[in-house]
Amino acid sequence: MHPIIRLVNRNLTISLNPGFLIWQVIFPLIYIFIAGFAYAPLINAVPFGNKELDYPAFLASGMIGFNIMNSTLLSGIIIWNDRKHGMFEQIMSGPFTRGHYILSNICTIGIIGLVSAGLIAIVGYPVFFESVEFSFVTIPIIIFGAITGSVLFGSLASIISTRLRSSEGFNVLINTVFLFFAFVSTAFYPADGVPEPLRTAFYLNPLTYLVDVIRAGIFGTITEFVIIEMIILVAIASTLFIIASRLLAKLDF
């Protein structure tokens, strides 16, 4: 078996535990079916592109991007635990290289991101099916979002895990950063009407671009701005991946 496949299998085995799977399903369900319908009477319609969506549909599509980001926390957690418990040293002493380790982490978060996106799309479909406009680009765009988002946020989590040695500092920083991304974005509410400088902060947040791209694919609202957002996502993901790879290549035991 190829070393990368062996490491990916190991990563998935230690990551996909019942607690994680429940978190990945129950948490989005609470938001989609409780928060979504609870706020629906207060929010009649949400503008998106040339359409108006009801709030549950807007939220359910946003939770796809949110769940992709949330699942990539595993990348940082795997690296952190490997360093803390001496697994990184043991892996490097086996038939594996740092390149194998880096690529296996990226493959792992890519797989988890795709599964997470598919899972929430299936769960949320009954909520937004009336507004869906599937086309030949819908599935490719969702796959693009899942992979790009996984690499972007997974690389960021990896960078944080390589720079911090304190478990308290790691947990505080990574949760603070990802909470900021989650709630200062268009995952839960639209940017239209948001006062400055909060609106500007929305568009400094890569999760906003990820969510917008996925929504555009689901609701058939591909515009020039969405294409620009896709380019921005690729640029940020590539930059963070290069930084994360270099830091992992120099990672000490």
Q: Cα 58 to the chain's mean position, in Å?
A: 17
The pLDDT value given to residue 1: 61
Amino acid making up residue 80: W
Measured over the CA atoms of residue 199, residue 49, residue 124 and residue 72, the dihedral's sign is negative
In 34-103, at which residue ranges do the beta strands (DSSP E only) sit?
A: 46-48, 51-53
Coil/strand/helix, residue 53: strand
Q: Are 8 and 105 in contact (CB under 8 A)?
A: no
The pLDDT value given to residue 42: 78
Residues 210-250 pLDDT 10s:
999 998 888 888 888 889 999 999 999 999 989 988 888 77
Measured over the CA atoms of residue 221, residue 225, residue 231 and residue 237, the dihedral's sign is negative
**Torsion from C-alpha of 136, 139, 145, 147, nearest 10 degrees:** -120
Q: Cα 45 to the chain's mean position, in Å?
A: 26
pTM of the model: 0.86
Number of domains into which the chain is organized: 1
In 160-184, which positions are buried (b, 16+ CB within 10 angstroms) versus exposed (e)?
bbbebeeeeebeebbeeebeebbeb
Q: What average pLDDT score do residues 113-128 get?
A: 76
Coil/strand/helix, residue 48: strand
Nearest to 186 by CA among 169, 201, 173, 174: 201
Listed in sequence order, the residues at least 6 apart from 118 whose beta carbon sits closer than 8 Å to its beta carbon are: 146
Cα–Cα dist 56/31, whole Å: 9
Residues 139-164 pLDDT 10s:
888 889 888 988 898 888 888 888 87
pLDDT band at 209 (very low <50, low <70, confident <90, very high): very high
Residue 26 scores a pLDDT above 80: no
Q: Which range marks the domain in which residue 168 is found?
A: 3-249
